[in-house]
Structure 1
Amino acid sequence: MAVISLASALLTGCSTAPPVEPGPTTPAAESWSAQHLPGKRTTEYTPATRAGQRCTQAKANRSASLWRRILRLEPAAWHQLQFSWWVDTLSPEATVADTDRDDAAARLVLAFDGDASRLSARNQMLFELAHTLTGEPPPYATLMYVWDASAPIGTIITNGRSDRIRKIVVESGSTRLRHWRHYERDAQADFLAAFGEAPGALIGMAFMTDADNTQTQVEACYGPAMVR
């Protein structure tokens, strides 16, 4: 249902997040924690090593949950985003372009603050329901970077259940499986391209490996995510 889908985004941030000092920030392992989604099996997140690099391993077995950090960084305090991941397996039928098959072996999720009064009536209703369900106010907007099984790199996809969730495909297909992939993105420019407006404060980030819609098993490993 739509509210459950929204929960995957809203759990990445909340309006009561503590401020973070401007400058480079690499979230420490202890500042991250598992976040379950109502009605979903839990993806397992554990410390691991891949090709000599420490990482957070994610094993999804027909499951969906997040490994997240709450923070607050105003737009003037950061611009660039760096992250890396290693994907062991993909579900070939999964794609974030199809609501019914919306799974991804690897996602980096960013949550942003904003003026909730600008939301459409439909989104305000969904956000109120999601708040009731989870006990947290949803972020104004959520941007996801994803490794998709088939959607072309560079594709920007609007979530089928809420246009406040948008996804950018940064890796596609299986040719680069079992290799570290490193990315540096101008996340504020990406937000502008996806939403058509400048972002507000960054209030959360999360890793998410999910296989609940396709009822499959996938595995990935995440390196540190850093903004500066």
Structure 2
Amino acid sequence: MESFFLFSEKLRLIAAVSLCLLILCFIPGDASCLDLTDKNVLIIGNFCTEKSGENLPAGWETLLFKKIEKHTLYSRVRDNGCFVIKAEANASASALIRKTSINLNKYPIVNWRWKVSNILEKGDIHSKSGDDYPARVYITFEYDPAKLSLWERSKYELARLVYGQYPPYAAINYIWGSHAPKGTLSPNPYTNRTMMYVVESGDEKLNRWIEEERDVYKDYKKAFGTEPPMVSGVAIMTDTDNTGEKATAFFGDIIFKDKGK
């Protein structure tokens, strides 16, 4: 009889621990998975269902930069019950990109999760030497010749001949800034065709899963003053090549949805 009670106590203990773990998996800010069951959302990064390992998630490819020798390391890891992308930068830069076509009139809202382990001491959104971020979600827009002058169109044609495709017409970077205040909107120090939105900043939320939601349609109009063209790609990036520092970040699922979702 005593052994029966001991067995029952063990069962209760296991049940209690299992319940605690189940509750922890659904604590807001700690979960790394989005709800991907809605058929009306556009799934861009379905990382949670991917398996761990070094292979890239389906539909994504590495984006390298010609003048940067060291590349950020991206891998799939398990975190809090979900598979996510881990980015590790050490005086390096590269990105993971998914080429896609998205109509912002239909899917204006982007939703994603990320977690950052550290900020950059020398990070500065306004200078080339500080143009590094522990995490960014990079959205590019299709080349639209109707929006450019003859001289600008000729430059795009030259780029197409050299690289085999047109470069993006414009880009929005949603960044985790190191020192710039949350809500800052600023052109990239290298080009005013890329606008930087600081959606998180500083170390207050480090090592926590944070869910973000942005109206890309409105952000584009505010940044560039015109109707947005089609989205041509979505990238995730952790870079420290300018500051020479180290950074680690994690990226969860990424979706686009309409305003009613």
Structure 2 residues not aligned, in runs of 5+: 1-38, 47-56
SS, match of residue 75 in structure 1: coil
The residue aligned with 1:222 is 251
Offset of residue 131 of structure 1: 4.7
Aligned equivalent of 2:182: 153
State the distance in 2 between where 1:123 and 1:163 align: 14
Distance in structure 2 (CA, Å) of the matches to 1:121 and 1:212? 34
Match of 1:39 among 57, 67, 73: 67
Could you tell me how far apart the structure 2 residues matched to 1:89 and 1:129 are?
Answer: 40
1:147-167 deviations in Å (ceiling 9; x for gaps): 010001111110222211101
Contact 1:123 1:162 in 2 (8 A): no
Q: CA RMSD in A?
A: 2.1
Go from structure 1 to structure 2 and tell me whether the alpha carbon gap of 1:133 and 1:189 turns closer, same or farther (over 3 Å shift).
same
Deviates more, 1:30-39 or 1:212-221: 30-39
**SS at structure 2 position matched to 1:30:** coil
Contact 2:186 2:195 in 1 (8 A): yes
Residue from 36, 40, 43 that aligns with 1:26: 43
Q: Classify 1:132/1:99 alpha carbon distance in 2 versus 1 (closer, same or farther; 3 Å).
A: farther
Q: Which has the larger radius of gyration?
A: 2
Q: Contact 2:84/2:250 (CA < 8 Å) preserved in 1?
A: yes
Q: Is 1:109 equivalent to 2:109 in the alignment?
A: no
- Cα distance change of structure 1 residues 163 and 121 upon mapping to structure 2, 3 Å threshold: farther
Task: Select the residue among 204, 211, 216 that pairs with 2:233.
Answer: 204
Alignment map for 1:1-228 (pairs within 5 Å)? 23-27=40-44, 28=46, 29-40=57-68, 41-119=70-148, 127=156, 131=160, 134-228=163-257
Determine what percentage of the aligned residue pairs are the same residue: 30
**Cα distance, 1:105 vs structure 2:** 0.4
**Unaligned ranges ≥5, structure 1:** 1-21
Q: TM-score, normalised by structure 2?
A: 0.73
Structure with more relative contact order (C-alpha pairs < 8 Å, separation 6 or more) = 1
Relative distance call for 1:127 and 1:214 in structure 2 (3 A) is farther
CA distance in 1, matches of 2:152, 2:100: 24
- The structure-2 alpha-carbon separation of the partners of 1:164 and 1:26, relative to structure 1 and needing over 3 Å to count, comes to same
Q: 1:130 to 1:88 in 2, by over 3 A?
A: farther
Distance 2:209 2:147 in 1: 40
AA partner of residue 24 (structure 1)? V
Q: Does the 8 Å CA contact 2:143/2:166 hold for their aligned counterparts?
A: no
Give CA-to-partner distance per residue, 1:3-41, whole Å, 9 cap, x none: xxxxxxxxxxxxxxxxxxx94121243011212111211
| Aligned-partner Cα distance in 2 for 1:161–1:124 | 20
